[in-house]
A = this chain, B = another copy of it.
Amino acid sequence: MAPKYKLTYFDITAFAEPIRFLLSYGQLDFEDRRFAVDGIEWPSIKPTTPFGQVPLLEYDGKVAHQSIAISRYLAKQVKLVGSNDWEDLEIDAAVDTIIDLRTKIVAYGYENDAAVKESKKKPLFEEILPFYLEKLEAQVQKNNGYLATGKLTWADLYFVALLQYFQFMLGKDLVENSPNLQKLKEKVLALPNIKAWVEKRPKTKF
C-alpha cells in the first residue's frame, strides 16, 4: 500500500487549495490537517516548520514545504505536466504569472490600514486586474481553452483553486467578465474528482 500524504495548513483554501485540488484530481489519499487562522495551534506549529510557513506536505517520512514546489511535485504524480521541457517551461511561466497576480491581490486584501487599502484599490481594480485579465483571456483563447500547451495542466488547477480566495480578497469573482477564464473555471470545477472534492471539502469563508 502506498504511503499516505499528509497536508498541514490553516482551515482556509488560499495557498493549500491547489495542493488539495491536485491530490483530489489524482485520487491520492491524504490527511487534510487543518487549524484555525487565529487559533492556539499555529504558534506551536510555526517553529517546527522549515521557514515558519505552511503548507507542509508529508510523505513516506519526509516533509516538504513551499506550496508551488509541492504543487509541481504532485502534478508530476498525477500526470498534469507537459510533454517536454519547453511545455513545462510554458506551464511554469503561467503559474508564476498567476503568482504575480496573487501577490498583487494579496497586497490589497491583507492591507490593514484602511487609508492605504483605499489608495491601493483604484490601481488594482482599474489597471492591474484589467491588464492581467486581458492578457490571460488571450492566452487561454490561444491555448485551446487552457492556460498553457493546449491541454489541461496543473496551471489550470492552480488558477481555479485560488479563485475562492481571490473572491474573498476582491469582494467579487475575478473572472466574472472574462468569458474564456470563466469557461476554464467551469471546466476545471466539472472534472469529476474536483467536483467531488469541492462538494465534500470543509466550508470556509475563504
In the complex the two chains form, is B93's CB within 8 Å of A69's CB? yes
**Contacting pair B135 A51 (CB below 8 A):** yes
Which of B52, B70, B73, B92 is close to A69, meaning CB atoms less than 8 Å apart?
B92
Count residues of chain A with CB under 8 A from any CB of chain B: 29
Contact (Cβ within 8 A) A52 B131:
yes
B residues in contact with A77, CB < 8 Å:
85
A32: chain B residues at CB < 8 Å are none
Report the Cα distance A135→B66, complex, angstroms. 15
- A59 contacts across to B, CB distance below 8 A: 86
Instruction: Determine how close the nearest CB of chain B comes to the CB of A205; give it in whole angstroms.
Output: 26
Q: Kindly state whether residue A90 has any CB partner on chain B within 8 Å.
A: yes
Is there contact, CB below 8 Å, between A100 and B51? Answer: yes
Closest to A53 in B: B100
Determine if B51 and A73 form an interchain contact, defined as CB atoms under 8 angstroms apart: no
